[in-house]
């Protein structure tokens, strides 16, 4: 399956614990930054404006993680994102961080669109929904 969005990330000293491997909470920070970058660079949605001026939240409500191999300082990981489902107000993603020897960690993530004023779920704004639909169509065209 072809990913909707991908980029390479370098494992840095600050990502690692005293054993010299990525400290597992750092993977979640890397995941969050990757999803933000996907909004900016993959969907063309200004994430800061979405959260700030537009007051649209995208909290993670479910996160499944599978740690498969360790990563060390200096490793280069290819981060890949697939859209599994777009609902009225929720989005299910599959994300993997892959090294030369295979997948290091993978995630199943559900985000929910909320109002940052009421903290209640709401439908995706029209421009966000349109960008998500385009991304799904692009993903499907690569799979054919």
Distance (Å, rounded) from C-alpha 45 to C-alpha 94? Answer: 19
> Residue 15, SS3?
helix
pLDDT one-digit tens code per residue, 90-136: 999 999 999 999 999 999 999 999 999 999 999 999 999 999 999 99
Q: What is the CATH number of the domain that holds 57?
A: 3.10.129.10
Task: Give the pair of three-digit tokens for residue 68.
Answer: 């498969």
The pLDDT confidence band at residue 1, using thresholds 50, 70 and 90, is low
* Whole-number pLDDT of residue 90: 98
Whether the predicted pLDDT of 144 surpasses 80: no
Q: State the total domains in the chain.
A: 1
Determine contact, residues 128/45, Cβ cutoff 8 Å: yes
Q: Which domain holds residue 97?
A: 5-143
Quickly count: other Cβ atoms within 10 Å of residue 133's Cβ: 13
Distance (Å, rounded) from C-alpha 21 to C-alpha 31? Answer: 17
Torsion from C-alpha of 123, 128, 131, 137, nearest 10 degrees: -10
* Whole-number pLDDT of residue 27: 98
pLDDT one-digit tens code per residue, 55-99: 999 999 999 999 999 999 999 999 999 999 999 999 999 999 999
């Amino acid at each position: 399956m072809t990913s909707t969005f991908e980029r390479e990330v370098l494992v840095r000293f600050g990502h690692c614990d005293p054993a010299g491997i990525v400290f597992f909470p750092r993977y979640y920070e890397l995941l969050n930054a990757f999803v933000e970058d996907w909004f900016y660079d993959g969907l063309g949605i200004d994430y800061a404006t979405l959260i700030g001026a537009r007051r649209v939240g995208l909290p993670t409500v479910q996160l499944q993680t599978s740690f498969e191999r360790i990563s060390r300082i200096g490793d280069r990981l290819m981060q890949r994102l697939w859209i599994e489902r777009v609902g009225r107000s929720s989005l299910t993603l599959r994300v993997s961080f892959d090294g030369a020897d295979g997948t290091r960690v993978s995630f199943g993530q559900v985000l929910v669109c909320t109002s940052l004023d009421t903290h209640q779920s709401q439908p995706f704004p029209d421009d966000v929904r349109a960008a998500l639909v385009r991304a799904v169509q692009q993903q499907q065209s690569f799979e054919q």
